[in-house]
Amino acid sequence: MRVRLIARVAASLAIALLSVLRVLAADGGFYSAAQAVRGEVLYEQYCMTCHGAKLEGNPAAPLAGPVFQGRWADGQHTLDDLFYIVRTQMPYSAPGSLAKQQYVDVIAYVLKMNGYEPGETELTPIASTLKKITLQPR
Amino acid sequence: MKLTGIVLATLGMLVASNLVWAASGPTQDELNHADQSTDWLLPNHDYAGVRFVDLKQITPATAASLRPVCIYQGADLNRSQTNPLVYKGTMYITAPQLTVALDPVTCRVKWRHDWKEKAKQGNSSIKNRGAAIKDGKVVRGTQDGYLLALDADSGKVLWEVKAADSEKFEALGMTPLIYDDLVIIGPAGSEYGIKGWIGAFRLSDGQSVWRFNTVPRDGEPGVETWVGVDAKLRLGGGIWTTPSLDAAKGLLYVPVGNPAPDLIATERAGTNLYTGAMIVLDAHTGQLNWYKQTVPQDTHDWDVPVTAPLFTTTINGARRDVVTLGGKDGLLRLLDRQSHEEIYAVPVTTRTNAEVAPTVEGVYACPGLVGGMEWSAPALDPKADLMVAPAVDWCGVFKKDEEPRFVAGQLFMGGSFTYDPIEKSRGWLTAVKASTGEILWKYSSSRPMLGAVTLTSGNVVLTGEVTGDFLVLDAANGKPVYRFNVGGPVTGGVISYAVQGKQYVAVVSGMTAGFWLAQPAALTVVVFALP
- Residue range B51-68, pLDDT digits in tens: 999 999 999 999 999 999
pLDDT at B217: 96
Contact A79, A133 (CB under 8 A): yes
pLDDT at B179: 98
Most distant pair of Cα atoms in chain B: their distance: 89
Contact A94, B145 (CB under 8 A): no
The mean pLDDT value for A28-41 works out to 93
Contacts of A50 in chain B (CB under 8 A): 513-515
- Give the closest residue to B36 by CA, choosing from B322, B434, B319, B382: B382
Mean pLDDT across chain A:
83
Contact B304, B277 (CB under 8 A): yes
Domain map of chain B by residue range? 53-81+452-531
pLDDT at B8: 53
What pLDDT band is residue A12 in, cutting at 50, 70 and 90? low
What is d(CA B80, CA B450) in angstroms, rounded to the nearest whole number? Answer: 11
User: What are the CA-CA distances from residue B44 to residues A11, B51, B55, B395, B448 (Å)?
Assistant: 65, 5, 16, 28, 20
pLDDT at B6: 54
Looking at this protein, which amino acid is placed at residue B103? D
- Residue range B262-312, pLDDT digits in tens: 999 988 999 999 999 999 999 999 999 999 999 999 999 999 999 999 999
Which of A51, A60, A89 has its CB closest to that of B416? A89
Is the pLDDT assigned to residue A18 strictly greater than 50? no
Helix (H) or strand (E) holding B495: strand B494-499
Contacts of A58 in chain B (CB under 8 A): 77-78, 511
Contacts of A83 (CB under 8 A, 6+ apart): A103, A104, A107, A125, A127, A130
pLDDT at A22: 44
Is the pLDDT assigned to residue A66 strictly greater than 90? no
Which residues 184-243 in chain B show a CB within 8 A of chain A? Answer: none
The strand pairing partners of B444, in sequence order, are B428
DSSP secondary structure letter of residue B458: T
Is the pLDDT assigned to residue A88 strictly greater than 50? yes
Q: What is the dihedral of CA B202, B204, B205, B209, to 10 degrees?
A: -10
pLDDT at B181: 97
Q: Domain A2-130, what fold?
A: Cytochrome Bc1 Complex; Chain D, domain 2 (1.10.760)
Contact B190, B170 (CB under 8 A): no
Contact A42, B495 (CB under 8 A): no
A48 lies within 8 A of chain B by CB: no
Which of B407, B418, B512 has its CB closest to that of A81? B407
Q: Which residue of B has its CA nearest to A63?
A: B124
User: What are the CA-CA distances from residue B261 to residues B122, B272, B297, B331, B405 (Å)?
Assistant: 21, 12, 11, 23, 9
DSSP secondary structure letter of residue B511: B
Q: Which residue of B has its CA nearest to A96?
A: B416
> Best residue in B117, B123, B124 to probe A by mutation, most A CBs within 10 Å?
B124
> Best residue in B466, B515, B517 to probe A by mutation, most A CBs within 10 Å?
B515
Query: Exposed/middle/buried for B222, CB within 10 Å: 0-12, 13-18, 19+?
Result: buried
Domain map of chain A by residue range? 2-130
What pLDDT band is residue A16 in, cutting at 50, 70 and 90? very low
What is d(CA B319, CA B21) in angstroms, rounded to the nearest whole number? Answer: 38
Sheet containing strand B415-419, edge to edge, reads B363-365, B396-400, B415-419
- Give the closest residue to A126 by CA, choosing from A89, A100, A97: A100
What is d(CA B485, CA B519) in angstroms, rounded to the nearest whole number? Answer: 13
Q: Please indicate whether residue A103 or residue A1 has the higher confidence score (pLDDT).
A: A103
pLDDT at B269: 94
Query: φ, ψ for residue B339 (rounded to 5)?
Result: -85, -15
* Closest chain A C-alpha to B125 CA, distance in angstroms: 6
In the predicted model, residues of chain B with pLDDT beneath 70 are: 1-23
Helix, strand or coil, per DSSP, at residue A45? helix
Contacts of B399 in chain A (CB under 8 A): 95-96
Looking at this protein, which amino acid is placed at residue B173? G
Contacts of A111 (CB under 8 A, 6+ apart): A28, A30, A31, A36, A123, A135
Contact call for A58 and B411, based on CB within 8 A: no
Strands (E), B182-231: 182-185, 197-202, 208-213
Contact B164, B157 (CB under 8 A): no
Which ipTM value was assigned to this complex? 0.76
Which of B399, B417, B513 has its CB closest to that of A59? B513
pLDDT at A71: 84
Contacts of B415 in chain A (CB under 8 A): 88
CB atoms within 10 A of CB B314: 10
The mean pLDDT value for A95-118 works out to 95
Contact call for A70 and B416, based on CB within 8 A: no
Contacts of A23 (CB under 8 A, 6+ apart): none
What is d(CA B34, CA A34) in angstroms, rounded to the nearest whole number? Answer: 62
Q: Which residue of B has its CA nearest to A83?
A: B407
Which residues 67-106 in chain A show a CB within 8 A of chain B? Answer: 67, 70-71, 76-77, 81, 84-85, 88-89, 92-97
* Closest chain A C-alpha to B363 CA, distance in angstroms: 14
Contact B416, B451 (CB under 8 A): no
Is the pLDDT assigned to residue A138 strictly greater than 80? no
Is the pLDDT assigned to residue A39 strictly greater than 50? yes
What is d(CA B372, CA B354) in angstroms, rounded to the nearest whole number? Answer: 11
- Residue range A115-128, pLDDT digits in tens: 999 999 999 999 99
Which of A49, A88, A94 has its CB closest to that of B514? A49
DSSP secondary structure letter of residue B40: B
